[in-house]
Structure 1
Amino acid sequence: MSMRDIGKPPVRGKTSPYGFFVKMCYEEHKKKYPNENVQVTEISKKCSEKWKTMSDDEKRRFYELAQKDAERYQAEVAAYGGEDAMRKRKRAKKDPNAPKRALSAFFFFSQDRRPEVQQMHPEWKVGQVSNPLFVLKHNALPTIAIQVAQELGRMWKNVSMDEKDMYERKALADKERYAEVSP
C-alpha cells in the first residue's frame, strides 16, 4: 500500500437511489448534447424536479440498484475486516524528525515584513487570534489573520524586481536544501 492510499477509504461508500438517478440524468444529457458544457447546477435542479414528480414504480429500479450497491458495500466492508476495521484505519503519521519543506519567495518575504505590517496596524493583534476565547468573543480569526495576509499580498505585488529576486534566490537555496535532506 502506497503512502497516498493510506488516507483514502478502503471501501467506496454506498450510493443512494437518488444518486443513481442523478448519474443517469447526467449520462442522458451527455448523450443528447455531447458537445455542450454541462452546467451542474442546472442539471441538478432538473433532476431534482423530475425525481419529485416520479411515481414509486418509476423509482423502483433506482431503489433496486441502491440495494445491490448496499450489498456490494457490505461485502467489501466484511472483506476489509468489518466496520470496526474501517473506523480504526489511521492516516500515515508524519515523521516529527522529517525536514521542513522548502519555503516560497513569498513566505520569506512574509517572514521579513510581517512585523512591519503589525507595526503599521497595531489594531490587528495577531497574537490574540491564538486565544480561543478572544476568537469566539470578537470573531477575530476571519478578520485579523486575513487582513495581515492580504496586506502582505498587496506589498508583495508592489515590491521591486531586485527585492523579489533576492527572495527568489532565498527560495531556490531553500529548495536545494530540502532536495538534499528529503528522501
Structure 2
Amino acid sequence: MKVLSLLVLFFSSLFLGETVVNNGYQPGDKAADFKLKSVDGKMYSMADYKDAKGFIVVFTCNTCPFAVKYEDRINDLAKKYKKQGYVLLAINPNDPAVQPADTYELMQEKAKDKKFAFPYLVDEGQQVYPQYGATKTPHVFLLDKNLVVKYIGAIDDNSDDASAVKEKYLENAIAALEKGSEPSPSLTKAIGCSIKAKKKV
C-alpha cells in the first residue's frame, strides 16, 4: 500500500510539474531563481543581489523586430530603476540553431554595440523561459524582493513608437509596488515574436 501511495505521489508530481512548465507563472506565484551566463562570461542569479527591492526579468533577443524596437527602452529602464533598487536581468531564450543571429557571440556584439547597462543572459538548454511561461520577445516579469511575481506582460502599450506611449505598464507596476499596493493591471498581453524553440526530434 505504501508503495502504491508513493507511485501516486510520484506521477502526480510529474503531472503537476508539467502543468507549471506549460503554463508558467501567474501574478502571485513565487518564481524560481536561475543561474545563467551573461555576455561578460560571468554567471548571474537573483540571489546575487541581496539588497534588491525587486527584479525586472525581460525575455528578449537580438533579432526580433519588436525586441530591437525596445532595446533602448529596456536599457533606459535598467538605468532608471537601478537607482531605485530594482535589478533588470535580460534573458535570450532563443535556440541559436533555430535562429542563427542569436548566438552567444552575437549577443556579446549586441551588448557592446548598444552599451547594455544590464546583464544579458543566455538561456542555454532553454530551461528557464518555459518555467516562467514566457512566449514572446520581449516578455516582462516583475518580481518583488521575495521573488513573488507582481506583473507579467508588455513593457508599455506602443511597440512601434516610444514617444507615443500612453500606458507604461511596467513602470506603473513598479510605482504600485513602491506604494505598497498591487499592480493593476497585473497581467497584459506581451507583443512580440514567438520564442524560437529547439525542434523536438
- Pair in the same fold by TM > 0.5: no
Max radius of gyration: which structure?
A: 1
TM range (shorter): under 0.3
Return the TM-score normalized by structure 2: 0.16
Greater helix share, 1 or 2? 1
Return the TM-score normalized by structure 1: 0.18
